[in-house]
Amino acid sequence: MAHQGSCTVIVGCQWGDEGKGKIVDVLAENVDIVARYQGGANAGHTVHVGEDEFVLHQIPSGILHEGRRCLLGNGVVLDVQQFFEEYDALVARGVDIEGRVGVSSRAQLLMPYHRFLDKAVEHSAEVKIGTTGRGIGPAYEDKAGRRGVRVADLGNRARLTERIEAAQERTVRRLTELGAGTEDLDRAMDEALALGDRLLALSTEVGPEISAALRQGRSVLLEGAQGTALDLDHGTYPFVTSSNTTAGGAATGTGIGPTQITDVIGVVKAYTTRVGEGPLPSAFEPEMDEHVRTLGGEFGATTGRPRRCGWFDSVLTRLASQVNGLTGVAVTKLDVLDTLDELQIATAYRLPDGRVTEHFPADTWALGKVEPVYETMPGWKAPTHDVRKLEDLPPKARAYLDRIEELTYAPVRWVSVGTKRSQIIPVG
């Protein structure tokens, strides 16, 4: 076999919003292809280039690096209207993206009826999941129920119409049962379908394209959305997303084999945040919550919702290390903690029956009742924004990073100390 290039997966280790967009953006400098492997327009990466801010929902943030090829894998549910809105906005801002974006012919199409249904179901649910209302759950339900339509189906209009009509009819029946309106659905469907040929023109075979690049010794980044605790199987079920966000999903979601992956980098925020419903064991007390949310600008990129904040939770990052097989960690937002007097790290959980565990419980309701066991570390009380070398970080900040590394069982490879591309410390 010819020399194999590198294939790195970037995965979130908490509840998403870890700053994966920034890390992908930094690493994309040295790669040829960036591919998304799951999720849809529910993801929101915020990337700062110079004075410009870009919020990307579906197109990989590698697009902001000239010449990189950006792919959406088969594991993605693609909202065509939102996709072209984003595509056209990038063009309007002068990003040269012609010929650089490809979508898997096997990717599922997220149709307007999925969005309608998502909102109606969440609105009427007794136990709310805290979805973004972007139609992601219903689109994955149709995929698993074998009712979905894929990019390749756009090539056969008669079959497409037949499948879509059946799915739409079924959805309208459910919307009616839920007492939800269907106004504007027909217009939204016409708009989505009018973009079909434009999307088809971008379709590609993502697995073979990545494999060929690797055979030629080129470098590939596979970009995850959301985080490990939102993984359909390994997260805080049912308060999760509808896909496998973890590294295994990178293989099935792009069409390559697991042995082609050479590195898995976990992105961890220096503290913890969570948006949407579900337990957050290491949650701050209200005053601290407000303080860190303001310092860290913790409001959702997709929905603007305030994120709940808490201490660094190593029970969760150990789970992430194991499920993803992390070969390294990128710690983000260390600078947000610069002014705190004291920091705590959750090292274990005390269960309601008094037992102490170092493992993340499968029972999500029990997780809501655990008491974290904390270790206290002194704050470094010095700005880190301008630090570019590990040895220039305050010793107490280094001690904090060392402890994260020890408790997570994976080496820290990058430390991010600000939103800008340049605000990164490579380690080792």
Q: Tell me if 46 contacts ligand GDP by CB under 6 A.
A: yes
Footprint on residues 282-311 left by ligand GDP (CB under 6 A): 297, 301
Q: Which residue among 306, 419, 421, 427 contacts ligand GDP (CB under 6 A)?
A: 419
Place of tokens 């129920």: 145
> CB 367 → ligand GDP: shortest distance, Å?
22
Whether 45 is catalytic: yes
End-to-end Cα separation, the chain, in angstroms: 30
The smaller minimum CB distance to ligand GDP, of residues 218 and 421, is found at: 421
Using the contact rule CB under 6 A, the part of the chain among 83-91, 126-134, 183-191, 416-424 near ligand GDP is: 416-424
Nearer to ligand GDP, 47 or 109 (CB): 47
Cα separation, 369 vs 355, whole angstroms? 12
CB of 275 to ligand GDP, least distance (A): 9
CB 327 within 8 A of CB 410: yes
CB 400 within 8 A of CB 343: yes
Give the shortest CB-348-to-ligand GDP separation in angstroms: 26
The nearest distance, CB 423 to ligand GDP, in angstroms, is: 6
Partners of 372 in the β-ladder: 349
* Tokens 């902001």 belong to residue: 64
Let me know: does 56 contact 63? Beta carbons within 8 Å. yes
Minimum distance of ligand GDP from residue 99's CB (angstroms)? 25
Q: Does 281 bind ligand GDP (CB under 6 A)?
A: no
Asked if 336 is part of the footprint of ligand GDP (rule: CB under 6 A), the reply reads: yes
Shortest approach of ligand GDP to residue 176 CB, angstroms?
36
The answer to whether 335 contacts ligand GDP (rule: CB under 6 A) is yes
CA distance 87 to 101: 9
What letter represents residue 247's amino acid? Answer: A
Contact 390, 415 (CB under 8 A): yes
Cβ closer to ligand GDP: 256 or 417? Answer: 417
As a whole number of angstroms, the distance between CA 143 and CA 155 comes to 19
Of 32, 45, 79, 231, the catalytic one is: 45
Selected range binding ligand GDP among 3-11, 127-135, 250-258, 415-423, rule: CB under 6 A: 415-423
CA separation for the pair 150, 107 (Å, rounded): 5
The set of residues, in sequence order, having a beta carbon less than 8 Å from that of 172 and lying 6+ positions away, is 113, 182, 185
Site for ligand GDP in 21-40 (CB under 6 A): 21-22
* Single-letter amino acid, residue 72: L
Strands 272-274 and 263-269, how do they pair? Answer: unpaired
Between residues 100 and 333, which has the closer beta carbon with respect to ligand GDP?
333
Q: How many CB atoms lie within 10 A of CB 313?
A: 29
Angle ∠(27,267,261) on CA atoms, nearest 5: 65
Nearer to ligand GDP, 110 or 267 (CB): 267
Nearer to ligand GDP, 48 or 350 (CB): 48
Does position 390 interact with ligand GDP (CB under 6 A)? The reply is: no
Site for ligand GDP contains 229 (CB under 6 A):
no
The yes or no reply on residue 135 touching ligand GDP (CB under 6 A) is no
401 contacts ligand GDP (rule: CB under 6 A): no
What token pair was written down for 312? Answer: 């660094």
Q: How far apart are CA 335 and CA 103, in angstroms?
A: 36
Instruction: Identify which range of 32-40, 85-93, 245-253, 413-421 contacts ligand GDP by CB under 6 A.
Output: 413-421
Q: Given CA atoms 371, 377, 380, 386 in this order, what sign does their dihedral have?
A: negative
Residues counted in the chain: 428
Beta carbon nearer to ligand GDP, 89 or 189: 89
17 is an active site residue = yes
149: number of CA atoms within 13 Å, CB side? Answer: 28
* Binding-site string for ligand GDP from residue 189 to residue 208, where x marks contact by CB under 6 A and - marks none: --------------------
Nearer to ligand GDP, 327 or 332 (CB): 332
What 213-217 contacts at long range (C-beta under 8 Å, 24+ apart), as own/partner pairs, is: 213/5, 213/32, 213/33, 214/4, 214/5, 214/7, 214/256, 214/260, 215/1, 215/2, 215/4, 215/5, 216/2, 216/5, 217/2, 217/3, 217/4, 217/5
> How many residues bind to ligand GDP according to rule CB under 6 A?
22
**Residues with active-site annotation:** 17, 45
Binding site for ligand GDP (CB under 6 A): 12, 16-22, 44-46, 48, 297, 301, 332-333, 335-336, 416-419
